[in-house]
Structure 1
Amino acid sequence: MAGGTWTKQDKVRPGVYINFTSESQRGLSIGSRGVVAICEPMSWGPVGKVMEVEAGADTTPFCGYPIYTAQARFLQEIFKGSDRTNGATKVLLYRPAASSSVQATVTEGQMTATALYPGVRGNDITIVVTEQADAEGTFDVQTVVDGAVVDTQTAKNVEELKANGWVTFSGSGALAETAGVKLATGADGTVETAAYTTFLSNIEAYDFDILIYDGDDSTVQAAMVNFVERIANTQGRYSQLVAYGLNVPDSRFVINVCSDITGISFADGTTLTGKQLCWWVGGTEAGANYNESLTYAKYLDAVSVTPALTNDQIIAALQAGKFVVFAENGAVKVDSDINSLTTFTADISKPYQKNRVIRTLHTIANDLYMQFSESFIGVVDNNATGRDLFKAVIVGYLQEMQANNAIQNFEPDDVDVLPGDEIDAVVINLRIQPVDAAEKLYITITVA
């Protein structure tokens, strides 16, 4: 009996002709959020490198300190989240170059130990060399940080010592016992404005939801505003900047933390400045899903705001497109989850000021960009059948968003997939109505 595969029904001999295929997996899925990018001056870590710090990871290799310490507080706040939404899932952390930064070092006998990275954290490193009791001329060399042994090596000569996660060794000759010598002269240096330009060049290759700037350099602020708007308008990659005290940015791509707020106090007695509030705002905005609003969300562990703004001050700040938090009953809450957009047009109307709406729109735009690029462009035919496939996957995607209360009143006819002016062009039109959270409740109580 004949057999094999078939392309068209033109076989001559009787037989069973079988093709093996798979059901098409081409479709769209709703992407996740939670990625923050930040350029943070630090006292430890590689310079000029984008590091990917996952939520829950040990932060010591990245910034030199555990997450519960003051020096790693910025990461703690970025990952914290609110009482009803998650914080960031990943931080793209970049340590900028700093002029006059110095690696800590110490020389003892023939051995020189040098901190792996520049910064004052290197001054917390101690090297202890102990001769083994039962092996004369053989030594245990310990690297100690904050009283904890982080590396132990056994050697007779300096040349045998290998670099570890904290120091490099140099020199030659026999080791000599020492109760402990501390590295010194490490310095952080000064981060110049140009270092942030280099950061933006490095981070452009990465995808992220929120860019945080916690400084007050107006030149850097302007560069970051321009950056998020440029990659959205020219590359179709959508994100938002969170910064403090910007001068009327008037942009849906920018969340302007209110400069009237100068401090946040916490239940454990610690405080953060208004600029440092950007850490939590950025992390929480990134971690919030496309169908979640932060309006009235609580800042975990925060208890008061300095100064306590009056009702009129809060209204004025909101009207100016500022992101405001306030204290109520021993808790700190977001007043309204808005961005800095204040000029509305027929194309960019008032709903674009709400960050939940922006999250929905950015999720749709980023998903269409990424997934069409990966699985559709150059693969799907530009004919009626191919365009029907485009429409089918978009409709299915938007129906899932509607089921998750991100959009409402959606119908399949709200998607048009049309041939473009050229043979390889497709025009897609979507009509959607984003859902926002109920925020203003107008109640009338009638007494009979």
Structure 2
Amino acid sequence: MGGTYQAGEEKVRPGVYRRYSTEDKKLVAGAMTGVFAIPVKADFGPVGVVTIHTKQDTLKEMYGVGGTVKGATNLFEGGAAKVHVYRLGTGGTKGTLDLKDAEDAAVVSLETKYPTDITFAVSLKQKLGSETKREFSVYQGAVLKEKFEYEVQADGDEGQILTEIINAKSAVFHAEKAAEDKKPVSVVQQEITPGTNPTVTNAEYSAALEAFEAYKWNVLVTDTVDTAVHELLKAYMKRLKNNGSIGSCVVGEGSDVAFEERMEHAKSFDSEYFIYAGSGYVDAEGNKVDGYEAVTIQAGIIGSTPSNKSVVHTVIPNAVDTLEVLKNEDYIHAIENGMLLLSPSEEGEVWFDSGVNTLTTLNENQDAGWKKIRRTMTRYEMFDRIDRTITPLVGKVNCDSDGISNVVKVAQDVLIAMVNEGKLMDGANFYEDPEQAHGPDNAHFIIEASDIDSLEKIYLNYKFSFSGE
């Protein structure tokens, strides 16, 4: 006698019974670390979000080095893997230049791709040693930004050829042919008529925050320490959290704000998803790094630190001293008020003195672990990885014992991975809630997990004995 059986079913008659299922081969979702969002004021580049996946050089090529682009490059210096950059502003005008023929008539009209007040310069000349090739070069100051060569035959329309190559290859200009069958004369670093940069107000920060909602990031930081923007961030992050988003926001102020006032501002955030960086430092070249530059460097390190490590006593690269000399009591008060400070190490380095976020008042469903950056990041990571692992099963498995077992298995795999990564303690468990039976299209689950903290305090008890002999 044979037949089929359902999971958990007990047959009455002896025999061989069979069932089959498809093993889920989806990989466990990995941690999302080192992904940032930042609005910046720039002299060039598109207004809106651009995702930079590579290094700082790409940022400089796209946005230049003016404004507050340094805030975005600081994130990469801190370890960022990906940065969503939003160039702030509305309005502005583009720079222009006409390449003309021997009779001073326009042959090709150039316009910068984006609003900018940068005075670019253009050279157009015959390539040395060639009778048919010419070179088009773009300079910013003394720096050569781009250079293209093209070939022109005696009967060729050079204006058309030059227009096509600029539009195909230039990151700076868009070109329009202004006349038929004309030849532009050579020029040497001829300056364009510069445009103007977009106007930036707090309304543009609101636009940037709204745009970031379409992107995944684990840390948001801004290019300003303006408290008015901080108020925008408070409302924005609260709304995101109410909608189930996962991420943290790093804010701060400069040393020109009184220490007590900075503590008050840090305490006012009173949230596990806000980190207040309250210190600046002196770098190895003797420069004062303060305000948004200090905040973005620290944000880059915090957001790029995996959740199996703590930022406590993590060294700030190239920092040699703090901007303030603080007493032990000052550091204690800062921790109590949710302000993250830098302190000098005994080896002459500068590091994070603690690992606190701004949460000071626990809700009834919170434990003290929510006051720590590491433990909060671990919990957010667990939320995110389980969500991304089981979401593909929604609507794809049956709401029966087999489907529920599938959900349990893949979610448990996430917990096992995080245990193996040193982020959770052994014994983490994901199971169906025994007190809430699943319905026709829904099921309830319980996750039991203990996140691991770092060893931060070591107490030494020296016991001496005295002998007269």
Superimposed CA distance per residue, residues 64-92 of structure 1 (whole angstroms, 9 cap, x where no aligned partner): 35xxx9975333321223xxxxx111101
Match of 2:136 in 1: 141
Match of residue 362, structure 1, among 380, 396, 402: 380
- 2:247 is the counterpart of 1:239: yes
Q: Which amino acid aligns with 1:205?
A: A
Deviation (angstroms), 1:349 = 2.1
Q: Which amino acid aligns with 1:104?
A: G
- 2:185 is the counterpart of 1:185: no
Match of residue 214, structure 1, among 223, 235, 242: 223
Q: Which amino acid aligns with 2:365?
A: D
Contact preservation (8 Å) 1:139, 1:175: no
Match of residue 78, structure 1, among 71, 75, 86: 75
Q: In structure 2, the residue corresponding to 1:276 is in which secondary structure?
A: helix
Which runs of 5 or more structure 1 residues have no equivalent in the other structure?
1-6, 10-18, 82-86
Task: State how far apart, in whole Å, the 2-side matches of 1:132 and 1:335 are.
Answer: 59
Contact preservation (8 Å) 2:94, 2:194: yes
Following superposition of structure 1 onto structure 2, how do residues 242-391 of structure 1 map, counting pairs within 5 Å?
242-245=250-253, 246=265, 248-258=268-278, 261=279, 263-328=280-345, 329-374=347-392, 376-391=393-408
Contact preservation (8 Å) 1:214, 1:244: no
Following superposition of structure 1 onto structure 2, how do residues 359-438 of structure 1 map, counting pairs within 5 Å?
359-374=377-392, 376-410=393-427, 412=429, 415-417=431-433, 419=436, 422-438=439-455
Task: State how far apart, in whole Å, the 2-side matches of 1:324 and 1:134 are.
Answer: 61
Deviates more, 1:141-150 or 1:340-349: 141-150
Q: In structure 2, the residue corresponding to 1:297 is in which secondary structure?
A: coil
Equivalenced residue count is 416
TM score, norm. by length of structure 2: 0.80
Deviation (angstroms), 1:131 = 4.2
Match of 1:127 in 2: 122
Task: State how far apart, in whole Å, the 2-side matches of 1:387 and 1:60 are.
Answer: 50
Match of residue 174, structure 2, among 144, 164, 168: 168
Contact preservation (8 Å) 1:264, 1:273: yes
Contact preservation (8 Å) 2:68, 2:223: no
Deviates more, 1:162-171 or 1:302-311: 162-171
Deviates more, 1:264-273 or 1:416-425: 416-425
Q: In structure 2, the residue corresponding to 1:59 is in which secondary structure?
A: helix
What is the identity percentage for the equivalent residue pairs of Structure 1 and Structure 2?
A: 19
CA separation of 1:49/1:407 partners in 2, compared to 1, >3 Å: closer, same or farther?
closer
Superimposed CA distance per residue, residues 122-172 of structure 1 (whole angstroms, 9 cap, x where no aligned partner): 31x211122468888985332234332612244664444233111223433
Q: Which amino acid aligns with 1:232?
A: K
Deviation (angstroms), 1:409 = 4.6
Task: State how far apart, in whole Å, the 2-side matches of 1:56 and 1:180 are.
Answer: 27
Match of 1:38 in 2: 38
Match of 2:81 in 1: 89
Q: In structure 2, the residue corresponding to 1:49 is in which secondary structure?
A: strand
Match of residue 227, structure 1, among 226, 230, 236: 236
CA separation of 1:70/1:298 partners in 2, compared to 1, >3 Å: closer, same or farther?
farther
- 2:110 is the counterpart of 1:113: yes
Deviation (angstroms), 1:102 = 3.1
Deviation (angstroms), 1:343 = 0.3
- Please, what is the CA RMSD of the aligned residues? 2.9
Following superposition of structure 1 onto structure 2, how do residues 27-66 of structure 1 map, counting pairs within 5 Å?
28-55=28-55, 58-65=58-65
Deviation (angstroms), 1:326 = 1.6
Task: State how far apart, in whole Å, the 1-side matches of 2:222 and 2:129 are.
Answer: 56
Contact preservation (8 Å) 2:41, 2:67: no
Match of 2:212 in 1: 203
Match of 2:148 in 1: 152
Task: State how far apart, in whole Å, the 2-side matches of 1:348 and 1:174 are.
Answer: 73
CA separation of 1:185/1:420 partners in 2, compared to 1, >3 Å: closer, same or farther?
farther
Superimposed CA distance per residue, residues 22-53 of structure 1 (whole angstroms, 9 cap, x where no aligned partner): 64314634333110010111111111233333
Task: State how far apart, in whole Å, the 2-side matches of 1:27 and 1:409 are.
Answer: 21
CA separation of 1:132/1:445 partners in 2, compared to 1, >3 Å: closer, same or farther?
closer
Contact preservation (8 Å) 1:391, 1:417: no
Q: Which amino acid aligns with 1:187?
A: T
Task: State how far apart, in whole Å, the 2-side matches of 1:112 and 1:409 are.
Answer: 67
Match of 2:259 in 1: none
